[in-house]
Amino acid sequence: MLITTEEYSRVLRGYFFSDCVVRNRNMFTFVMDRWLSDEEAEQWEEEERDIDFREKRVVPFMRHKEPGKQWSWTDFKGWDRIVGGAARVPKDQFVGIQSFGELMVFVTGSGDVGEEPSIPNWRKGGPDRGCADKIKTIDGYAWYCGSGRSVGQRLGKGHWLAHTQALPSSEDPGDSGTGFRDIDGFGAEDVYAVGGKGDVWHFDGKGWQQIPFPSNTYLFSVCCGGDGQVYISGYEGLTFVGRGNRWRKIHDGGSIALPLHDMVWFEDRVWCTNENGVWTIRDGALGYVTDLPTEIAVCAGHLYVNDGVMLMAGTGGAAFRENGEWHSIVLRGRMERALREQASGG
């Protein structure tokens, strides 16, 4: 692991990983939510407080620095769920967006730390027509997508290129039948956005076109693969591969209880994860990864790929894969045991 018990106690204890981002091969950033005890959760419920507003923490990890100087953090109070992504252009930075309500933005990296102007509403020329669900790095830029078929590309500090106006919305922007849950692209002129009930759109650099899709299942994730194919997954893991107007089902679904939260291309295959495990798609077949070491498997939950590194983080901890090998960063269970032993003098 790449953390001491002292660092874990100071930086991570009491929080769990809710998102992860690779800025570059040496700079990872984690979004964390505070654990609530049973008593605290009960109190929040009695007070009718929204649990999504519990305290949060954005935690950069710099693995190229010497031990003891690798971890830092910024705390957030009063923020809803935060989704994270990376930008290489115009600067190498982490970009975080509050998912609901006002789409507030937090950026760290390349000498900047702090809030930027919120994403403008679509009626004022901005991309915000609902919540923010996912951020992806496409051609070095951070792109986000969300409900109401919202799509925005961050060009610089407080500057978002809006695609939303080019995309029709349902009468109700909160309608679950339309709106994007994920976005990915082979480049800025070949982008796919998916969500709703079989709601798939493609951007060719000039305009957006709805793609006829062979299912009206709820869609949750998309990956533009290194093999030139597009992979789309929906409810209970129903998964398709194709491009343009041609799609082929490669997994019937039903065997995966939770939707695949993230799908990424890394090495020579698609990697998929949710809180229950890790899957890969290779040679047109989706299969559960059974040979992960325990200390890696417990980190299932979220994935991000950038600069030759795949990062994974979940409630059990965080790990990364590089040059064909897995490396654990932090394991929550092991750290908690070590701290209990220290406290008991063991």
Question: Which pLDDT score is estimated for 178?
Answer: 73
Supply the pTM of this predicted model. Answer: 0.95
CA distance 268 to 204: 25
CA distance 256 to 236: 5
Question: Which pLDDT score is estimated for 257?
Answer: 82
Shortest CA distance to 97 belongs to which of 132, 130, 51?
Answer: 132
CA distance 302 to 273: 6
Q: Under the phi-then-psi rule, with left for phi > 0, alpha for psi from -120 to 50, and beta for the rest, what region is 26?
A: alpha
Question: Which pLDDT score is estimated for 76?
Answer: 97
Question: Which pLDDT score is estimated for 78?
Answer: 94
- Which residues lie below 8 Å from residue 25, measured CB to CB, with a gap of 6+? 306, 307, 308, 309, 322
**Half-sphere CA count of 35, side-chain side, radius 13 A:** 12
Per-residue pLDDT of the chain (346 residues; tens, 9 = 90+): 789 999 999 999 999 999 999 999 999 999 999 999 899 999 999 999 999 999 999 999 999 998 889 999 999 999 999 999 999 999 999 999 999 999 999 999 999 999 999 999 999 999 999 999 999 999 999 999 999 999 999 999 999 999 999 999 865 555 556 789 999 999 999 999 999 999 999 999 999 999 999 999 999 999 999 999 999 999 999 999 999 899 999 999 887 888 999 999 999 999 999 999 999 999 989 999 999 999 999 999 999 999 999 999 999 999 999 999 999 999 999 999 999 999 887 5
CA distance readout (Å), 168 to 31, 132, 195, 199, 240: 32, 17, 14, 12, 24
Q: Do the strands 208-210 and 199-203 form a parallel or antiparallel pair, or are they unpaired?
A: antiparallel
Question: Which pLDDT score is estimated for 262?
Answer: 97
Taking the CB of residue 280, how many other CB atoms lie within 10 A of it? 17
Shortest CA distance to 135 belongs to which of 277, 265, 281, 22?
Answer: 22
